[in-house]
Amino acid sequence: MEPSTAEVRVKSGTDEQQDSMAQSSLSRGVHQIPSMGFSNAYLVELGDQSLVLIDTGTPNKAARVLAYLASMGRKPSDISYIILTHPDGDHSGSAAALKRLTGARLAIGELDAPRLSGEKKLKEASGIWGLILGFVGLFMRVERVKADLELKDGSTIGPLTIIMTPGHTDGSISVYKPNEAIFVGDLLRTDGSGNLSLASAGMSRDMEQVRRSVEKISRLEFQMLLPGHGRPIEDVASKKLREFVRNGFR
């Protein structure tokens, strides 16, 4: 979860419609689901007619995912997997509902699975962030759900490879489509111009681990970088990420 007020935009209906035209289909079989609000969710075409949903947004966003699917001429059962980059409520909020509505298999990094299922607290934070989380929790009820698949470093789902990128949460993962795209969850954020920044320190478990995870994915090749918040980088993204690392993560 990355509560940055700069990223929370209040939109009128008209803005949302314009947004949906602009943000829906990226390239290389990757779609950003429009009108999801605070958090990003993506659909990836696997090439065998099936789709993978990466992250599910805050609670009550299932209808938006299904509406976008319908606009693609696809049906709920075409989603074969739902992969969560991490269990924070702004990414897992609609996971339980979407699992029911699509019949997809739900997957998450193995170390984060107990937080999704409710065996462990969803999120731990101290100080001011603890207070903010407590406050957000009053409004955002996240339905707990057990994952069907607990992912490890190197696990594969079709053409997608799972890379363990802990730091924001203990079990955070990135989803990598070699030479094409990487979905990083909240390991990295971007602003409206696609400038990179690290996961927010206040909301992350271990910033040293965050930096090591960013270095790890900077050794991969990809054109697109798709963050959990902010605008996707659609071209030469691995080169931009290497510059970001060389520049002291700035």
Is residue 1 a contact residue for Zn ion (CB under 5 A)? yes
Considering the complex, state which of residue 84 and residue 163 has its C-beta at the smaller distance from Zn ion: 84
Is residue 112 a contact residue for Zn ion (CB under 5 A)? no
C-alpha span between 86 and 105 (Å, rounded): 16
CB of 168 to Zn ion, least distance (A): 8
Phi, psi of 188, deg, nearest 5: -135, 150
Considering the complex, state which of residue 110 and residue 186 has its C-beta at the smaller distance from Zn ion: 186
**Half-sphere exposure (Cβ direction) of 81: Cα atoms closer than 13 Å:** 21
CB of 22 to Zn ion, least distance (A): 22
Considering the complex, state which of residue 2 and residue 45 has its C-beta at the smaller distance from Zn ion: 2
**Pairing mode, if any, of strands 181-185 and 105-109?**
unpaired
Check: CB of residue 41 under 8 Å from CB of residue 33: yes
Q: Which residue has the tokens 């950003």?
A: 32
Q: Single out the segment in contact with Zn ion by CB under 5 A; choices: 117-125, 178-186, 219-227, 235-243.
A: 178-186
Angle between helices 207-218 and 237-246 (to 10 degrees): 130
Considering the complex, state which of residue 217 and residue 223 has its C-beta at the smaller distance from Zn ion: 217
Considering the complex, state which of residue 41 and residue 160 has its C-beta at the smaller distance from Zn ion: 41
Start-to-end CA distance of the chain, whole Å, equals 21
Q: Per-residue string for binding with Zn ion, 87-106, x by CB under 5 A?
A: ---x----------------
Residues 190-209 that bind Zn ion (CB under 5 A): none
Considering the complex, state which of residue 34 and residue 89 has its C-beta at the smaller distance from Zn ion: 89
The token pair that represents 186 in the structure block = 């909240």
Options 69, 186, 224, 238; binder of Zn ion; rule CB under 5 A: 186
Residues 221-240 that bind Zn ion (CB under 5 A): 228
Q: Single out the segment in contact with Zn ion by CB under 5 A; choices: 83-91, 124-132, 194-202, 206-214.
A: 83-91
Is residue 55 a contact residue for Zn ion (CB under 5 A)? no
Residues 2-31 that bind Zn ion (CB under 5 A): 2
Binding site for Zn ion (CB under 5 A): 1-2, 90, 186, 228
